[in-house]
Structures are given as structure tokens and as C-alpha cells.
Structure 1
Amino acid sequence: MTNEVLRSVRGLLPMIADRADKVDESRRVSEQVIRELGDAGMFKMLQPRRYGGTEGDPVHFYEVVRAVSGVCGSTGWLASVLGVHPWHLALFDDRAQRDVWGHDDSVLVSSAYAPVGRLVPVEGGYRLTGDWHFSSGCEHASWALLGAMVVGTEGRPVDFMTALVPRSDYRIHDVWDVVGMRGTASNEISADDVFVPDFRIKRNYETAQLRGPGQKVNRGPLYRLPFATLFTTAVAAPGVGIVAGCYERYLTFMRERVRLSLGGGRFVDDQFAQVAVARASSEIDAAILQMDRNVRELWELAEAGEELPMGLRLRVRRDQVRATERALDAIDLLFKTAGGSSLSRGNAIERSWRDAHAGSVHVANEPERALALFGRGAFGLPVEDNLV
């Protein structure tokens, strides 16, 4: 099946690439770029058809993410995380979906999933208080998905939830000034004792068990997939796309380079440079091939209405974190072999190196935890984790 959104987005890539420097300097992706990505269908790829989405093949979504990330890491990151949230919202009670999309199906949702908020049960819902770091693209969004612990009568946490909160109920604090992914504007969000009705609360355990009220109205195979597959791949795909795009620019730039030391000569004639290019390209290919293979296998099982085996879900996480590691290995090779050419502030190699490393520190890209989970499963030990 043709990826129509990818075809549309390709027409935007030269413009996005031209703005990459400004995005990095200003720490913002412009509203115009977000709007044009929306017009191209980027943010509706995983959104239910009932609310104007295309509800399509998730592999196509990650293809578009990689393409955008290849010309601007910050824009690709926002395209991915803002684009995956409609999928999560589709698992909520339909009343919550109507609250967000009932009058405008192009409304965007950001997130800060760390369970640092505090939910206190009250009649009809909960009171939410908290401060959340790193809500990427929150300034472009009208709602936020916020992680919180439910507090029992003795003041102890008893459950882990995600609350859907409108922009009017939280404040955004402009604190994002970092070395990489600078344009994602992943600012802080705070809420103070705001009411959240119970239909805008989702149990994380229930999500991990592939259950939810939204599946009663959104019955397509897309909403039978695990959160840990859709979201963690959305976090890894931009990094792989950044490095893949950098690799192409690296080849173009280094073909014309002449060494001024080490005996001179053309860079492309250096056998060590040739080997580095081979290694980097292999790491990029392996990352893409494994991630796409795994997501497609899950998608096909969901389409067939079959069970999604835990072994495959664990393999998704294994290869997702390994994809990030492979992308970092590749970008480090490119950065080093480019020599002093990669050091100038703002050049494409330097910016890609910063962006890829910045994206890699997201908790979903943490390798040891995901690899240990796979190892437990391979040895036949029980695996209980919300990120599988």
C-alpha cells in the first residue's frame, strides 16, 4: 500500500531543512511547520477514522517520522510524539475522545508520562496536582496526557494512571534550553488541584494488558497493539531518522573533501573512511529493518485478530533500544571521521550528533532495562512491566 502521507510530506522537506538552523537557535518549531505537517496528514495517521483520522499502518507512520527527522531532528521528534498521542487517546473512554476531537479533529495532545503527579479520588473523578518535566511540543497542543499516582486514604500511592487534561487547567513554563533537540520546546507543565472526571483517567496496567474503554468504539487492529510498541518506537524512530539523514549529507559533503594533513589526498580514497561508511550504513539499515519488521509482524497479527505473543512484544523492545544504540554508533563514526569539519557550531553533522544523543536519553531508549526484560523472557522467567 502506498504511503500517501509520506508522498505529501516529502514536498515539505526542503522547507523544513532550510529552517533547521533557526529551529535550533530559537528553540522552537514554527506554528506554520506544524500546521503544514498537519495538513499533510502527519498527525492523523494513528487517529481513529471516527474522528477524521486515517487509522493506518503504523510502519507508514514511522517511515514519515524518519523522513522528517532526517532533515530536522527537532521537527521529526515533534512529528513523532505529537503524532502517536492520538493513538493513545483512542484507548480512552469515548467521552474523553469527544472532549478533544468533538469540535476540531485537528487538535493536538502532548504528554508527560512520568508518574510524578498526585491524584486524589473525589466524587465523579479526581483532583490532580503536580509538576511535569519534558512535555515535548506542549505549546502546540491543547491537551496533555499526564502521569500520576492515585493516593489512597493513608496517603500512599495505590495505582498508576494517565490523566487527560485541557490546556486551561495547566501552566507551561519555558525552561527548555539544552544541547540537543533544542527545538522540541519540551517545557515543564504544572497543575494545581484541578478536577479530572473519571472518564478522562486511564489505568496504565489496563493499557499494558491491551484493554480499555476506547477499544469498544475503536475496534480496528491498530488499537489492539501495545502501548510499549507504539510509543517507544515513536521515541526511537526520530534518532534513527536523524542519523540516516546525516549519513546522506555526510556522503555529499565528504566526497569533495581533501585532507590537509596525514599525507593529503582525497578523503574518499582513504580505506579507513570507506570502512567507517560501511559500518555506519550497516548500523542504520539494521536499526530500520528490525524495527519495521517487528511492528509489521504485530500489525499483521492484530489485523488477523490473533494473540500478540509476549516473545514478540519483548523483541520489539529489544530491537527498539538496540536501534537507538546502533544509531549512536553510526553517528559517532560519522562525527569522528569528518574530523574538524564536524566541530563547527550549527553544521549538519554537529547538529545531528547533538540531536541523536539528546533523544537517546529518553527513558524509553534506556537499553539495560529493555534488554534485561528480553533476557528474562528468553529464560522463561515471568515478565511484568508496563513498557512491554
Structure 2
Amino acid sequence: RARVAEEAGRIPEETVADLQEAGLFRAVVPKRFGGHEVDFKYIPQIFRELGRGCTSTAWTMGFLIYHNFQFAHFPEQAQQDVWEERGYTMAPGQVMPSGTATPVDGGFELTGRWGYATGIQHGDWMLLSAHIDDGDIARFFLPVSDFEILDTWHVSAMRATGSHDVTLDKVFVPAHRSIRVADLRDGKGPGLALNTGPLWRVPLLTLMVFGAVGPLLGAAEAMLELVTEILTNKVGAYTGAKMQNVMPVRMRLAENKVRLDAVRGLFDAKIEFISDRIYGGGNLSNEERAEMRLVVSYVARESRAIVDELALMAGSRATFLDSPIQRFQRDINSLAGHAIFEFDHTADLYGGVMMGANFPDNAMI
């Protein structure tokens, strides 16, 4: 359904229903609300497997699954708001604090415009960040019905994510539906007094970035299979030679297979490392959290490079709209430019840590 999703600019309802029936939206919900509370190591693999079929679906549905993790950090009443009725929620989220939250009696009044509301067409609630008058930044959630959705998502890639802008104008949010971003990031939310399992001790950004890079890796794996099939049956336009007998083609295909295996191995190994550490009762140090950010940025960069080279090898036939190859290439080049995969800054941060430099207070780890 990837092409249908792209043309519609949203994930098909049939796909959403399939994922609901499979129970994936309960994966990151506490068991006390009927959720699965799965081991961390399975969460990035959900993103990756979905990415093998449709990057927009993997990105959108993956984050709707993942955002349940954030709700586990909110106060108990907030958790009841989102999970009491059906045991999971589908909540798009926006990270940048593009609005303001004014303290009022019983809560806050929110005003602002937020971009990239991925999956807003399918959402019950929406998570967002806003500046409070005291200069701090907090995370809030509101019913999707409180927002005005602006038709802004006119793009050349990742079209099915439907990442439109949304606005609020002096909308009230009760205090229990808020949490300081620093508390959420550092695992100090009030909800963790209730949710005590190891999953909830995984650092927020560590879980987010490993999930986020899954679609890129899954797409690269799918691309390798597609291009291998094309080259196996392809004949040179001018030479008439079978590509399966052309040495440079075989060498480049094999090289990309090994590169992809290495990237997948790194991805899997770091996920196992995190899971073993957290589920063994430990925590990640700041240095290790910075390393994980760099690993994810590297996986994103390598996945994009592999996809680009494989697309070139596939030839002009792969540019037709009925070929998933061109869609994978467009989507992955778009995703690889996301701020959370920015390689140079992340490498600079970790390289400094390796040489004993002071750790920045505002490091996004």
C-alpha cells in the first residue's frame, strides 16, 4: 500500500487497522493498563521491519507507537486520560517548543504553531513542547480536536506521513497533562513512581533515535533485495551482456551487501548492549548516551549512502513511479536530513568526550 499511501498523503486506514489488530500500539504501554511493556530491544526492530515495506508508514506508525513511552512519565491522572479507555493511544508529537504556555488557575493556556505533526490524521491526542513564562520548556498533550490543522504538507518525499502544521490559540491544558522536558529527558517524571519496570529507565532520546533510524535501515535492506532481483535479470542496453556476468556489477553489489551487514550488525549490537545494561539493573552513562547518538547518526548516513548507490545500479527503470526503488530513495534522503541524524555535531560531541572535554549541559542525549 506504499504507493496508495503516498498518493493519498496519509497512511491507509486498512494499514492502521492491521497494526491495531496486531497489537503493536500496546507494545510500549505499561502492563497495568493492559499493555505489552515489551523489552526495549524489540522496539527499534518494529520500526525497521515496517520500513522494509513503506518508510512513511514505519516513521508515522512507529512514532505513534513510541509516544506511548512518553506518557508513562506523566502523572497518574494523565496516564488514565490516555490509556483508561482502550489501553493505548495514538498520539502524534512535535519536539520543538514553537509555542508559549502561560500559567493559569489549574494549568496552562497554550498558544502557538507547531510544524511536522506527523500522523495527525490518525491521532487521539497530540504531544508538543512550549516555553513557560519562567523560561523553562515543558511537554504537554491535548486532544487532537483542540487543534486547527493547516494543510501544509506538500513535499516530494515522506508524503504519507501527513506532517501538517497545527495551531492553538489560548487553549487550556490542565496541569497534570504537563511535564518539564528536563524531567522527561532525565527519567525523573512522576509517572516512574508507578511504572517501575526496566523499560521506563531507558533514556528517552536513546529509545527515540534507535526507533527513528529503523525505517532507514529497513528501507536499505529492502532496496538490496529489489536491486539484486533487477540485476539478476537485467541485460545491458548497449552491450547485451547479462549483468549477473559483469564483474564490476557483481563487485559493487557484494560490497553494498557487506556494508549493509556491517551497519545492521552495529545497530543490533548496540541495541543488545543497551538492553543488557538496563535490564541488568544498570544505567547508561552520559558518555555512552552520546556514543549511542553517534551510532544512530552513522547508521542513518550509511543507510542513505547504500540506498543511493543501489538506486544508481538499478538504472533508469527504477525511476518509474510504479517502482518502490525511487520512493525508497526519495524517502531515505529526506529522512537522513532530519536533525536527530545530524552527524557532524554528534561526532564532535562524542569526539570531545573521548578526549576528556567537558560535557555540555544542553547536550541532546
**TM-score normalised by the chain length of structure 1:** 0.90
CA distance, structure 1, for counterparts of residue 253 and residue 138 of structure 2: 45
Query: What is the CA distance between 1:195 and its match in structure 2?
Result: 1.2
Map Cα deviations across residues 180-209 of structure 1 (whole Å, 9 max, x no partner).
111111111111111112221111111222
Q: Which residue of 2 aligns with 1:293?
A: 269
Partner of 2:201: 224
State the partner residue of 1:126: 108
Moved over 3 A (4+): none
> 326-335 vs 200-209, which deviates more?
200-209
Q: Which residue of 1 aligns with 2:245?
A: 269
Greater Cα offset, 309-318 or 139-148: 309-318
The CA RMSD over aligned residues, in Å, is 1.5
Q: Structure 2 vs 1, CA of residues 151 and 275 (structure 1 numbering), >3 Å: closer, same or farther?
A: farther
Q: What do the CA deviations read for 1:305-358 (whole angstroms, capped 9, x no partner)?
A: 223222221111011010000001100110111121222234111111011111
CA contact (8 A) 1:204 1:386 kept: no
Q: Matched residues in 2 for 1:284 and 1:126: separation? A: 48
2:290 maps to 314
- 1:217 Cα deviation (Å)? 0.5
Match of 1:11 in 2: none
* 1:41 paired residue number: 23
User: Which deviates further from its counterpart, 188-197 or 291-300?
Assistant: 291-300
**Using the alignment, how far apart are the partners of 1:62 and 1:209 within structure 2?**
20
1:80 corresponds to which of 52, 57, 62:
62
The offset of 1:243, in angstroms, is 1.4
Selected match of 2:340 from 352, 364, 376: 364
Aligned pair partner of 2:81 in 95, 99, 108: 99
- Among 103, 107, 121, the alignment partner of 1:139 is 121
* Alignment equivalent of 1:243, drawn from 202, 210, 220: 220
Distance 1:106 1:289 in 2: 32
1:264-284 deviations in whole A, cap 9, x for unaligned? Answer: 301122222222222322332
Is the CA contact 1:294–1:315 (under 8 Å) kept in the aligned structure 2? no
Moved more, 345-354 or 326-335: 345-354
Match of residue 137, structure 2, among 139, 142, 160: 160
Give 1:258 deviation, angstroms: 0.4
Q: Matched residue of 2:334: which SS?
A: helix
- The aligned residue for residue 32 of structure 2 is 50
User: For residues 161-180 of structure 1, what are the structure 2 equivalents within 5 Å?
Assistant: 161-180=138-157
Q: Confirm or deny: 8 A CA contact 2:83 2:89 kept in the other structure.
A: yes
What are the equivalent positions in structure 2 for 1:346-361 lying under 5 Å apart? 346-361=322-337
Shift of 1:104: 1.8
> Which residue of structure 2 aligns with residue 187 of structure 1?
164
Give the C-alpha shift of residue 245 in structure 1. 1.0
Structure 2 equivalent of residue 5 of structure 1: none
1:207 to 171, 177, 184: 184
Match of 2:320 in 1: 344
Post-superposition Cα deviations, 1:152-200, rounded to whole Å, max 9, x if no partner, equal: 3xxxxx1111111112321222221211111111111111111112221
SS of 2:233 mapped into structure 1: coil
Partners of 1:275 and 1:303 lie apart in 2 by 42
Which region of structure 1 is more displaced relative to structure 2, 37-46 or 275-284? 275-284
SS in 2 for 1:260: coil
User: Secondary structure at the residue paired with 2:94?
Assistant: strand
TM-score (norm 2): 0.96
Deviation at 1:386, TM superposition (A): 5.2
Q: Return 5+ residue gaps in structure 1 as ranges.
A: 1-18, 153-157
Say yes or no: does 1:260 pair with 2:237: yes
Three-state SS of the structure 2 residue aligned to 1:103 is: coil
Unaligned 5+ segments in structure 2 are none
Residues in 2 aligned to 1:205 and 1:370: alpha-carbon distance in whole angstroms: 20
Matched, 1:65 2:47: yes
* Cα distance in 2 between the residues matched to 1:49 and 1:71: 29
Residue 2 of structure 2 aligns with an amino acid whose one-letter code is A
